[in-house]
Structure 1
């Protein structure tokens, strides 16, 4: 994350994974373009108020969680200007600025918020340019590390071309305002279309033990060195529940949520976790839980949930 006064153009590259940097966090590391990040990261969405609108009830607690995540070694923080709106970006800036050179902050564009809490699409070129500028301002930087283009809607991906929107982000990248690009809430066809326009370093889609629609896409991306970032890794607003999940958790003397996080890390080396929480204690529980080692029998039993 750069805070210099003059943006510089960066040429993105598609890199192979690495685990060369020691980390106490489970999963090791992966490359987002030319940036090495811990596979266990932090998602900031829950730090906004109810319905992801407005400020948190406990601002000091929100700042503490962000600092604790980075102090624990996390080098990948996920946010969006639409969270709040702008609330999580402002919290990140207050808690972590000036940013450590090892920290990568990923944000999203492509949606706004309405007074009712909806997520209306905003993917016209002028919308995207405005959102990038808002993210630069609220995060306090001159260049954004990673911008994901959010497609589809709250119900999931929708078929259709992303060319105009992604070409707009590619131009902003050429202007030095964005270092790397990704896509979110997309179909496999849209991923391919985006990759034909500019390098894509990550795909951020709904995926967890119970939602396995992207199995083939995840494996294709792994072969090409592209990160897959599952949102709602623990089920989101509907927490994961399954007899198989509970049975594995009981055998492992841990919680079902710990097993769900561990399964994702063991699913493929290109999976990056961004579980969110408002509590430092829960953050530490997530880190410990993601380090649970699952046996081949455990994985086989868990695989029956989503298939």
Structure 2
């Protein structure tokens, strides 16, 4: 993603995306991104110091992150993820994709109370443009269902409203998040879909068929809760066994599993800790063999 003064109509060759799809030739290191949700502090927890959050965002890029996931609705009592990213990285480095999401509506106190109507999509996109300080957004997902997936609910009108903003030049690429295969198909009838962001991890593989569908269609798949959510990954015996075999942590194995599972997967683990960031990024160096994968998928 670039600032308005250095905007290029085509993405950098090192970007996670080509003009319409992900590159299946990306290395594991190139498919290890960063999620900004925790930069402002947990939604119902302590606020992160701005200087620490800025340092984490900058270090992520120094370590090779080329895909950053954020949203205007990622905020704590005093900080917003988009503001932190702008402070840390603007003008954004060439070749770094910054993806955001629209759809859920949050109160000032953090409650997700509704989903945006089609006529509200423009305002949410413009909010992200202002906060990030850019004239065009690299990738914008329509997030469906707030915190719970709601397959079977039509998304066409909302996605069409987002697609119209792509036609205007405010958005480069479109994505959908928290969707079923049917909802993805509905969106693809309206406009090209570059990425899907759904819940998927070694501990929750219910979306495996959609992961494979995305890989076949040239659509990037960005799992959320790739570490299982919370500290679940640390409690799994299979992950611990493989981690011991590789001299790695359970979190690193969980991330490495996703990278090995499909070339479509771009992992976007989030953290507000420099130490955890370094740990997560080191997962790209973990190479799982067939025995590891068989055990983890058992």
What residue is the counterpart of 1:23 in the other structure? none
Structure 1: tracts of 5 or more residues without a match: 21-25, 29-37
Aligned 8 A contact 2:129 2:135 in 1: yes
Whether 1:64 aligns to 2:55 is: yes
Structure 2: tracts of 5 or more residues without a match: 12-17
What CA distance in whole angstroms lies between the structure 2 residues aligned with 1:271 and 1:18?
Answer: 10
Call closer, same or farther: CA 1:60–1:16 in 2, change over 3 Å. closer
Matches within 5 A, 1:196-275: 196-240=189-233, 241-275=235-269
Give SS of 1:207's match: coil
1:127 deviation in Å?
1.7
What CA distance in whole angstroms lies between the structure 2 residues aligned with 1:17 and 1:9?
Answer: 18
Give SS of 1:47's match: coil
Call closer, same or farther: CA 1:14–1:160 in 2, change over 3 Å. same
Aligned 8 A contact 1:7 1:176 in 2: no
RMSD between superposed Cα atoms in Å = 2.3
What CA distance in whole angstroms lies between the structure 1 residues aligned with 2:171 and 2:134?
Answer: 10
What residue is the counterpart of 1:3 in the other structure? 3
1:234 deviation in Å?
0.4
Give SS of 1:63's match: helix
Aligned 8 A contact 1:9 1:179 in 2: no
What CA distance in whole angstroms lies between the structure 2 residues aligned with 1:52 and 1:178?
Answer: 31
Aligned 8 A contact 2:72 2:80 in 1: yes
What CA distance in whole angstroms lies between the structure 2 residues aligned with 1:281 and 1:79?
Answer: 20
What residue is the counterpart of 1:283 in the other structure? 277
Number of residue equivalences: 289
Aligned 8 A contact 2:159 2:187 in 1: yes
Call closer, same or farther: CA 1:9–1:247 in 2, change over 3 Å. closer
Question: Please, which moves more after superposition, 125-134 or 201-210?
Answer: 125-134
1:51 deviation in Å?
1.4
Aligned 8 A contact 2:21 2:220 in 1: no
Aligned 8 A contact 1:7 1:177 in 2: no
Per-residue CA shift, 1:184-230, capped at 9, x if unaligned? 00011000000110000000000001111111111111011110000
Whether 1:144 aligns to 2:137 is: yes
1:122 deviation in Å?
2.8
Call closer, same or farther: CA 1:248–1:6 in 2, change over 3 Å. closer
1:252 deviation in Å?
1.6
Question: Please, which moves more after superposition, 156-165 or 170-179?
Answer: 156-165
Give SS of 2:111's match: coil
1:100 deviation in Å?
1.3
Give SS of 2:176's match: strand
1:135 deviation in Å?
0.2
What residue is the counterpart of 2:23 in the other structure? 17
1:132 deviation in Å?
0.4
Aligned 8 A contact 1:265 1:272 in 2: yes
Matches within 5 A, 1:97-246: 97-240=90-233, 241-246=235-240
What CA distance in whole angstroms lies between the structure 2 residues aligned with 1:267 and 1:232?
Answer: 15
What CA distance in whole angstroms lies between the structure 1 residues aligned with 2:86 and 2:22?
Answer: 30
Pick aligned residue for 1:46 from 19, 30, 38: 38
TM-score normalized by the length of structure 2: 0.90
What CA distance in whole angstroms lies between the structure 1 residues aligned with 2:86 and 2:123?
Answer: 19
1:121 deviation in Å?
2.8
1:117 deviation in Å?
2.5
What residue is the counterpart of 2:28 in the other structure? 27
Aligned 8 A contact 2:103 2:146 in 1: no
Whether 1:84 aligns to 2:75 is: yes
Aligned 8 A contact 1:6 1:142 in 2: no
1:58 deviation in Å?
1.3
